[in-house]
Amino acid sequence: MKFPMFLAAAALGCGLVPAVHAAPKLVIEPWMVVGENAQAMLSYANAGTAAALVDEQTLAGDPLAGTGGAPINHWFPGWDANRFPAGAVIDLRAEYDLTAICLRDTNGAGAVVLAAGVPFAWTELFTDPMTGYNRWNNHAVTVRTRYLRVILTTPGIQPEELVVYGRIVPAQAPEPEPPAVPRARLPMEALIGTNAFIDDPIGVIEQVGNVREYHTWGWDEGNGEAYAGYPENENAWAPSWSAGWDFDAYYRNLRLLGLEVSPVVWKTPTAARRGYGG
C-alpha cells in the first residue's frame, strides 16, 4: 500500500492531478477566446492568434490520463518585445469548478501566467516557465470561475494548446455561441479616400467616400504671435483667422454629401508651445 500512496504524493508534488480523481475535460472552442490587445490577435510566421490555444482540443487528447497528443498549431505573437505582454481571455460560457489546467510546452521559454476571475479583477493561479520541450505541463488548481486569462510575458513563448478540467457549477448551463453578425457589403466609394484641404474643390472631393483633411491648428486659435493662450481663448471657426474660411459650412457641406471626414489638426499654436504665456 505504501507504493501507490507514494506515487500519488509525488504526482501532487509535481503539480499533476491523479487521473482517477480528475474531473472531465471541458469543451473549449476558438470562438471563446478574446484577445486583450492587438498583440494577442497578431499572427506571426504562420502561427495562429490566441485562439490557437484551443483550436486542437481533440488532437490534444487527455494529458492528465497520460494520453496527451501533439497539437500542431501554436500561439506566437512574434519576437518584438513591444508586443508583450500579450493577453487573452477564455470565456467558458458558464461557471466551473476547475481542477486542472494543462499547457503544451514546445519551442521557446518564458513565463506564461494563468489567472481566473473577471476582467480587471484577476487572481493568479500559477506561472509556468515553459522550460520543457514537446511535453504537457499539468497544473492542479482549485477555483470557481467562468473566465480564464492567459498572459505571455516575453517574446519567444510558443504554447501549442491549453486543456482545462473541471465540473460545471450545478444549475448552470453553458451559454451558446452568439449568432454571427452579418457584415454589410460596402460600395466602392466607401472604401476610397483622399487627402484634402479646405480650398480643394468640393466637386473633386465628393468623388470619394472618406476625406483626411489637413488642418493647421493656428487657423482657428490664436490669431498670431500675440496670443496669450488659455484662459484668454481666441477661437475662430466661421470665419477662421486664416483667409476667412468658414469651417462650419465646410464640414456641414461634406456631411451633406455623405463623406466621412477625419481632420488632421497639426502645428501647435505659438502660445501652447511656449507654455501659455510663459
pLDDT band at 210 (very low <50, low <70, confident <90, very high): very high
Sign of the Cα torsion 65, 66, 67, 71 reads positive
In angstroms, the CA 177 to CA 159 distance is: 25
Q: Averaging pLDDT over each range in 17-26, 68-77, 105-114, 142-151, which range is the top one? A: 142-151
pLDDT in tens, 37-46: 776 676 665 6
197 in Cβ contact with 214 (< 8 Å): yes
Per residue in 140-161, pLDDT (tens digit) is: 999 999 999 999 999 888 899 9
Looking at residue 126, the DSSP 8-state letter turns out to be E
The pLDDT of 149-178, averaged and rounded, is: 94
Is pLDDT of 113 > 50?
yes
Contact 150, 112 (CB under 8 A): yes
| Percent of the chain residues topping a pLDDT of 70 | 86
Strand, coil or helix: what is 2? helix
| 101 CB neighbour count, 10 Å cutoff | 27
Residue 69: all three cell numbers together: 497528443
User: 196-214 burial, b if ≥16 CB within 10 A, otherwise e?
Assistant: bebeeeeeebbebbebebe
Higher pLDDT, 233 or 176: 176
Taken as a whole, the chain contains a residue count of 278
CATH of region 16-168:
2.60.120.260
Selection from 254, 20, 15 nearest residue 135 by Cα: 15
- Reported as a pLDDT band with limits 50, 70 and 90, residue 213 is very high
The mean pLDDT of 95-123, rounded to a whole number, is 95
Band (274; pLDDT cuts 50, 70, 90): low
Between 165 and 267, name the one with better pLDDT: 165
Where do the structural domains in the chain lie, given as residue ranges? 16-168, 188-273
Helix (H) or strand (E) holding 150: strand 135-152
Q: What is the reported pTM? A: 0.63
Does residue 19 sit in helix, strand or coil? Answer: helix
The count of C-alpha atoms lying within 13 angstroms of the C-alpha of 59, restricted to the half-sphere facing its C-beta, is 14
Residues 137 and 135: their CA atoms lie apart, in Å, by 7
pLDDT at 37: 76
Average pLDDT over residues 74-89: 87
User: What pLDDT is attached to residue 191?
Assistant: 86
Helices (DSSP H) in the chain: which residue ranges? Answer: 2-13, 57-60, 202-205, 247-256, 270-273
- Res 16 pLDDT > 60: no
Tell me the average pLDDT across 120-131: 96
Give, in degrees to the nearest 5, the angle at Cα 92 between 37 and 146. 90
